[in-house]
Amino acid sequence: MADTADTPAQQVDEIASIAPTSPRVHRHPSFYIPDGTHVFRVGSTCYKLHAGVLCSVSATFVGMFGTVPTSSGGTSEGQTDEAPICIPDSEPFTELNFEMLLTLLYPGCMKMDDRTPISRYLGLLRIGLLLQCKIAQDAAKAMIWKKRYYIGAVDMVDYAREFSIRAWLEFGFASLIDISNTSYQQLSEDHFLRLGMPFVARMCYARESLERHLRIVACEPPSFTHAPDCTSNMQCDEDWRAVWWNIMGRCLLDGRAPKTWEGAVERLTGSEFGNMPYACVQAGMNVVRGGKAFHVGEAFAANAAEEFAREMIVYEDMED
Ligand SMILES: [Zn+2]
């Protein structure tokens, strides 16, 4: 029986004649690397890559290359475009996700930049998990975390649950209870359904506590120690209370455009303080700038978010 195996030269000719002219299959413009050791096909795209590079970052690839079958012609699978290592184009091993992984492994071929959408990093994380590739997982998590302020809070909660990342859930929860940044009128019914009842309940409890605390802070001026030259502590207190209500109360509780604590304090700093002695004004402002009462609210919000995230995601995940 005649030996029908192609010579290397014939194989090159066949690759050149088949791959570029095929209406469906094409070589990836960046990741068909001439000196690669194996050809992969994902969907309609061929990649020529180095088995050593893939195995160095992925236990799954190590397993794969230990079991790549040999064809009857003596040519290992993955040696030609005709006999590539075929991977079905299905989530999460899609052409797009594989391209993201290769962009990370071959940084000289293509680049990620700030315009790379979040969905691509999510894809990288998913394929990184599938392939047991820690550097892909870490890179994707780091980029998503870096872009967290551009991701909707409800989406962040979804991702946190999908990947069991406590820090992301904590961030999403903290965003959703943030009085100054999040209005529940911005959330649709679908958002609430996605969050689920346990989440929504805790979110509302925490938010109500924060709003109550804000009202208390806005209405109750902090006390201070009067200066020795303060001739009427009672009058001084009355002036302080009046200015506090007129400035802090109004700024913090403004229904249309509430100010932040810092913004309200800035407004207070430039106010008239009636007949208060200068030293008493300074004493009062020092207490205000310390922000002790207000920061109790911030600490409460942070603790509530952390506690909830620990309850929802039992196993730790990501190191900041
Ligand atoms: Zn005084």
- Are residue 124 and residue 162 in the same domain, yes or no? no
- Are residue 126 and residue 192 in the same domain, yes or no? no
Question: Lowest mean pLDDT: which of 59-63, 128-132, 246-250?
Answer: 59-63
Interaxial angle between packed helices 278-290 and 261-269, expressed in degrees from 0 to 180 and rounded to the nearest 10: 170
- 147 lies in a domain? no
Owning domain of residue 185: 152-320
- Are residue 292 and residue 157 in the same domain, yes or no? yes
pLDDT digits (tens, 9 = 90+) for 162-199: 999 999 999 999 999 998 778 888 899 999 999 999 99
- Are residue 37 and residue 69 in the same domain, yes or no? yes
- Are residue 230 and residue 82 in the same domain, yes or no? no
> The CATH number of the domain where 48 resides is what?
3.30.710
d(CA 246, ligand 1 centre) in Å: 18
For the chain, how many residues are written?
A: 320
Q: Is the dihedral of CA 144, 148, 154, 156 positive or negative?
A: positive
d(CA 274, ligand 1 centre) in Å: 11
pTM over 0.85: no
Q: Is the Cβ–Cβ distance between 63 and 72 less than 8 Å?
A: no
Which of 100, 130, 160 lies at the terminal end of a domain, its last residue?
130
d(CA 237, ligand 1 centre) in Å: 7
- 136 lies in a domain? no
d(CA 223, ligand 1 centre) in Å: 10
- Are residue 120 and residue 219 in the same domain, yes or no? no
Split into its structural domains, the chain has a count of 2
d(CA 261, ligand 1 centre) in Å: 24
3-state DSSP call for residue 86? Answer: strand
- Are residue 124 and residue 206 in the same domain, yes or no? no
> What pLDDT sits at residue 313?
77
pLDDT digits (tens, 9 = 90+) for 88-121: 888 999 999 999 999 999 987 777 777 889 999 9
- Are residue 68 and residue 194 in the same domain, yes or no? no
- Are residue 50 and residue 88 in the same domain, yes or no? yes
Instruction: Name the nearest CA neighbour of 177 among 202, 213, 149, 212.
Output: 202
- Are residue 184 and residue 241 in the same domain, yes or no? yes
- Are residue 168 and residue 116 in the same domain, yes or no? no
